[in-house]
A and B are shown apart, each in its own frame.
Chain A
Amino acid sequence: MMRIVAFAWSLVMGLLSVFLLGPLVLVAIFSFSSNALISFPMGDLTLKWYRDLFVNPDFYAALSNSLAIALPVALISTVTGTLAAYAFAEWRTRLGLPLLALLGLPVLLPPLVIAISLVVLYVRWLGLPLGRPAVIGGHVLVTQPLVAAVIASRMASFDFTVLEAARDLGASRWQTFWKVTLPQMRAAIVGAALIAFALSLDEFIIAVFTIGGGNTISTFVWGKIKTTLDPSINAIATILLLMTIGLTLIALRLTRYRG
């Protein structure tokens, strides 16, 4: 009986893992298949789709747009999110958590609503053009609360007495921050920045509404899915997967996130 139960659990967990990872694995496998479509049996091994992609100037344009958005997003949201988390941690009152929740509100609402409200703001009220800065603003809005949450959870296990020790030994507030706080927080901060970067690379809905002209990687993928059955989608999708998953796995190691 015990054996049967244990076997049933392994089976259930195995099947659910296949359900979770299967769709991603399929795309990656078929990016190396000579079949134009994802279908069975798969064709010969080929790197043709990657070659097609790497000679396509549109791909590089989209990639450089995405990087030109994701880098500032990671930088800005890491600074604003870390500062906010620092203030929450110092507060040590009941006000910290509600403030963190308030900061997280943009993540809770549908991205579609965030996107159209930004378009209304930029176009109708500020008369600003859409484009990369517009996307950066929207992305910072949804990445800074995640940075703040990652940093705040690291700070929860932070030993504040070492700061007092540093101050007692004559370090200024600024010196304490640079020489004691920051080195201890470095891994968490880098991890949070990588997560913000990965989220910005992958984000589609805010990007497609606020980019105006041009493409990011995700709107480029969108264009391909929408119009044609272009097999190079598998290749772009695999590259995108490798970037986002790779970055977040490194980030998870750095922040020692455990579920």
Chain B
Amino acid sequence: MTGWPRMLRRGLALFPAFGILTGLFFMPIALLLAVSFWSVRSYRLVPGFALDAYARTFSFYGPLFISTMLIAAAVALLCVVVGFVFAYGARFRSGRYGDLFILATMITLFGGYLVKIYSWKAILSANGILNSTLLWLGLVDTPVSWFIFNRGAVIVALAHFLLPFAILPIYSALRNVPDITLEAARDLGASPWTTLVRVVLPQCKAGLVAAFAICFLSAAGDYVTPMFLGGGSGIMLGQFIVSEFSTRFNWPVGAAMSFSLMGVSALVISAIWLAVVGRRG
């Protein structure tokens, strides 16, 4: 065989991408994990093996941790349910307009992270579009203040941001459900509801869990949305990872919070995977 041996060629082709992955991802993540066991004394990092940072994460930040997980779960659930309705509609109920709905999803997907958050702030704030419309229509006399700066506003904005990430995997799962099985179910006398529950849903379980996982992880790790829409003192862990890391320079606690967040998120997602898809996948 002429030229370079196969393995070497493949190795060379993989090298740049995995070199970057190793140098800028595996190494820094390992370093960050090491830092999470360090401690801070009089504003200086002290290497070692201490669990102080994790203790602080689960005691001091415990309630915030739970609140973050609940917000992430609410966002992910909302995205999966609404995403399923939208993907189902685009796949089975829209005829030739189905592609257009998916195009709208793609546009939303790429339509700017900060722009979306800013837009929700402009929609929900006291002198925003929603309130000014309600005032103009005479439906309220004074601006409604509870549209913004609470968990609800954060959940709505995160769900808007993450909905495309739910729609696309669910849609691609639904595309693998052949029309003919639906026709067969109907011919055999199944109601639309029975067809949905017994034919469609079992075939796209993996897609639904994948959508939940993506939305849950992204929502749990977000800090910009709660910063703008969540109100004064902070309601999600990400905000405090940033403040521990940047303003208090307590890297160990920031690192420990990051790994705890990822670890607990992974547990939640695995539990849901096992419950819905089962051991055999």
Contacts and interface: CB of A to CB of B under 8 A. Distances in A.
A84 B17 contact: yes
A131 interface: no
Contacts of A119: 245
Interface string A98-131: 0100110110111111101111110011000000
Given A24-B107, A83-B13, A112 B129 contact: no
Nearest to B21: A103
A248 B106 contact: yes
Contacts of A110: 217-218, 220-222, 238, 258, 261-262
Nearest to B213: A108
A198 B110 contact: yes
A114 B129 CA distance: 35
Given A84-B18, A118-B24, A138-B24, A259 B112 contact: no
B29 A117 contact: yes
Nearest to A244: B110
B119 to A, nearest CB: 4
Contacts of B251: 116, 120
B116 interface: yes
A113 B262 contact: yes
Nearest to A140: B20
Nearest to B131: A39
Contacts of B105: 20
B112 A116 contact: no
Contact of B224 (A79, A117, A205): A205
B153 to A, nearest CB: 13
Given A9-B93, A13-B89, A106-B25, A111 B172 contact: no
Nearest to A195: B110
Nearest to A16: B86
A245 B20 contact: no
Interface stretch (B55-63, B163-171, B177-185, B198-206): B163-171
A60 interface: no
A41 interface: yes
Contact of A116 (B110, B111, B127, B241): B241
A62 B29 CA distance: 29
Contacts of A202: 110, 112-113
A258 B112 contact: no
Interface residues of A, number: 76
Given A26-B129, A204-B224, A84 B32 contact: no
A241 B116 CA distance: 10
A181 interface: no
Contacts of B35: 120, 124
Give the 6 A-B residue pairs with the shortest CB-CB distance, closest first: A110-B221, A117-B28, A23-B119, A38-B122, A121-B28, A87-B13
8 contacts: A23-B160, A103-B18, A110-B218, A116-B241, A124-B35, A125-B31, A225-B118, A259-B99
Given A90-B13, A120-B35, 18 more contacts: A9-B93, A19-B163, A20-B163, A24-B116, A26-B122, A30-B122, A37-B128, A40-B136, A84-B16, A110-B217, A113-B221, A116-B254, A119-B245, A120-B255, A141-B25, A202-B113, A204-B114, A218-B114
Interface of B: 2-3, 6, 9-10, 13-14, 16-18, 20-21, 24-25, 27-29, 31-32, 35, 45, 82, 85-86, 89-90, 93-94, 97, 99, 101-102, 104-108, 110-123, 127-129, 131-133, 136, 160, 163-164, 168, 171-172, 175, 214, 217-218, 220-224, 228, 238, 241-242, 245, 251, 254-255, 258, 261-262
